[in-house]
Amino acid sequence: MTKANDFPEYEAIHTILLDRDGVINEDSPEFIKSPEEWCPIPGSLEAIARLTASGFRVVVISNQSGLARGLLDLKTLKAIHGKMLKAVAQAGGRIEAIYYCPHSPGDECQCRKPNPGLLLQFAADFKADLRRTLLIGDSWRDVEAAQAVEAHAILVKTGKGRMTLRQHPHPGIPVFDNLYQASNVLTKNKITQPIP
């Protein structure tokens, strides 16, 4: 079992960047197209609450090509994110910002992961040192985006995580069953506020 002291480099981490679909909420090959389709993965809301209580800044970094594909509009995406933010707040957590790429894979933009554009935008907005950030994702493109800017990365087995590990069986980074398990390691001995 992974222990907190296995990763002393994480002592300097101040921001946790979370992929959305497959990490916070259940993913779907048909995309998440409405607030009704947004369902949190068990333990994910509690995990964000733990991270918040431990003093981490939590930010979402997400590819949302459903916009470019015409599967949903910005108003609907805003409603989905509103539901997510409310659910996180009710669990005692806080997401400080949401960055998303609206483009399709063929648009050749710089913000769609594995490109690091969203991470660079976050760093500019928050004046953050990306070497002190940790991106938690379920896809290899999450790992590549983090590595492109010298951020740390963790894989979870939820969402596309198990498929990612079949394609990259020796990822060279920590792997956890889910966000809740990862949060337990990251917050060990760091809880500074009571969790509701």
DSSP per residue, 69-134: TTSS-HHHHHHHHHHHHHHHHHTT----EEEEE---GGG--SSSTTS-HHHHHHHHHHT--GGGEE
Structure confidence at residue 37 (pLDDT): 98
Structure confidence at residue 6 (pLDDT): 53
Structure confidence at residue 9 (pLDDT): 61
- Domain boundaries along the sequence of the chain: 16-186
SS3 state at 42:
coil
Between 3.40.50.1000, 1.10.579.10, 3.30.930.10, 3.40.50.720, what CATH number should domain 16-186 receive?
A: 3.40.50.1000
Report whether 154 contacts 136 (CB < 8 A).
Answer: yes
Q: Which two tokens stand for residue 39?
A: 């369902």
Write out the chain's pLDDT in tens, 196 residues: 344 445 556 678 999 999 999 999 999 999 999 999 999 999 999 999 999 999 999 999 999 999 999 999 999 999 999 999 999 999 999 999 999 999 999 999 999 999 999 999 999 999 999 999 999 999 999 999 999 999 999 999 999 999 999 999 999 999 999 999 999 999 985 544 444 3
Structure confidence at residue 5 (pLDDT): 44
Report whether 69 contacts 105 (CB < 8 A).
Answer: no
State pTM to two decimals. 0.91
Structure confidence at residue 4 (pLDDT): 42
As a whole number of angstroms, the distance between CA 136 and CA 119 comes to 13
As a whole number of angstroms, the distance between CA 8 and CA 53 comes to 20
Please give the positions annotated as active site.
19, 21
